Amino acid sequence: MQTPALIDRGTESYQATFDAMRAFTAARDAGTRDELWIVEHPPVYTLGLGADAGHVLDAHGIPVIQTDRGGEVTYHGPGQVVLYLLMDLRRRRGARLFAREFVHTIEQSVVNTLRAYNLAGERKAGAPGIYMADGSFKGAKIAALGLKIRGNGCTYHGVSLNVAMDLAPFSWINPCGYEGLQTVDMKTAGVEVPLPEVQQALARNLIDLITA
């Protein structure tokens, strides 16, 4: 399988990235190379297709944008790794890579990245994303995931990992639709590391898994 191109878009508004993802996916053909986009967003709340806007308790002036990904409400902001996966799932080993396996692979890339910094992450059945597996923050969510998979097998949207953020905006929503869900970042969990380092580490782990 060809290695996806890794594109660092720097800091970019969510709307600009969202528009670019849809345009890229609409224009691609059977020969278009898959891409992984690294982005850091200014503060924004995003809603999945079936999201209940009531889970935004008080936006405090932060923009709220309706998207076409799966899932509920989430927050993106400075100090967070965001990776978008613009991929054709039909290419993997000559057969379709089904959504559940793809989600599992993305989650595993986060677990592997956290492990490299001596943090233990785990999945929760029926609740996509990664949660702290032990310690004083056990059960707190540290990574969120939401995808759009078109009928032709092409994907966009992706995964976010909290590195060193202002966590207050998470308390102004019911994260992923769960009232009272604690959210944490790597810094709060005791690991201080530059954002670009984690961006590259997560991207490498993800590429290793999806090209295996």
Active-site residue numbers? 176
Backbone angles phi, psi at 24, to 5 degrees: -60, -45
Q: Write down how long the chain is.
A: 212
Residue 23: exposed, middle, or buried by beta-carbon count in 10 A (0-12, 13-18, 19+)?
exposed
Q: Within a 13 Å sphere around the CA of 59, how many CA atoms are in the beta-carbon half?
A: 16
Q: Which of 136, 195, 122, 120 is nearest to 165 (CA)?
A: 195
